Structure 1
Amino acid sequence: MLTLHPQYIKDANGDKSLVVIPVDEFDAILEELDDLEDIRLYDEAKKNDTGERIPMDEVFSMIEAKRK
């Protein structure tokens, strides 16, 4: 779990309207979100897995054919 040290900026009514956090904490949040997106994509791929596999040499051939 990330430890955050937010600073709140209040509007004219005294309500919290903005949050300021150190850049290293912001970068850590972005990294966590990126990891969560990877997990979500992996879970989605596993859910839709049919078991079909394509040999790597065929994949490379398909990629090369598309480049031409």
Structure 2
Amino acid sequence: MNVHAEYIVDEHLNKKSVIIPYSEWMEIVEEMEELDDIRAYDQAKQEAGDEVLDFDQAVAEIKAGKIE
């Protein structure tokens, strides 16, 4: 992923904020959501022990509040 960032700096040229195109932000959000799903799956898999959960089932259980 290519990010075209622009920085807002203070009077000492310390970076304070970043501006990126909205489309790039949406890509980042999608990637973060996917990473959250992967982490949730890994946690569900670990908590299940010997019981095997398929990814979609694990995500559904997490969304239903069955797994934190």
- TM > 0.5 fold call: yes
The runs of at least 4 consecutive aligned structure 1 residues that moved more than 3 Å come to none
Q: Shift of residue 36 of structure 1?
A: 0.1
The normalised TM-score by structure 2 is 0.69
Q: Shift of residue 38 of structure 1?
A: 0.1
**For residues 24 and 52 of structure 2, what CA distance do their matches in structure 1 show?**
41
List runs of 5+ in structure 1 lacking aligned partners.
54-68
**For residues 39 and 28 of structure 2, what CA distance do their matches in structure 1 show?**
16
List runs of 5+ in structure 2 lacking aligned partners.
54-68
Q: Shift of residue 13 of structure 1?
A: 1.4
The normalised TM-score by structure 1 is 0.69
**For residues 8 and 34 of structure 1, what CA distance do their matches in structure 2 show?**
25
2:37 pairs with 1:34: no
- Percent pairwise identity: 38
Per the alignment, residue 3 of structure 2 pairs with 4
**For residues 52 and 28 of structure 1, what CA distance do their matches in structure 2 show?**
31
RMSD: 1.8
Q: Secondary structure at the match of 1:9?
A: strand
**For residues 40 and 13 of structure 2, what CA distance do their matches in structure 1 show?**
41
Pairing of 1:1-68 with structure 2 (within 5 A): 2-50=1-49, 51=51
Q: Is the 8 A contact 2:45 2:52 kept in 1?
A: no
State how many pairs are aligned. 52
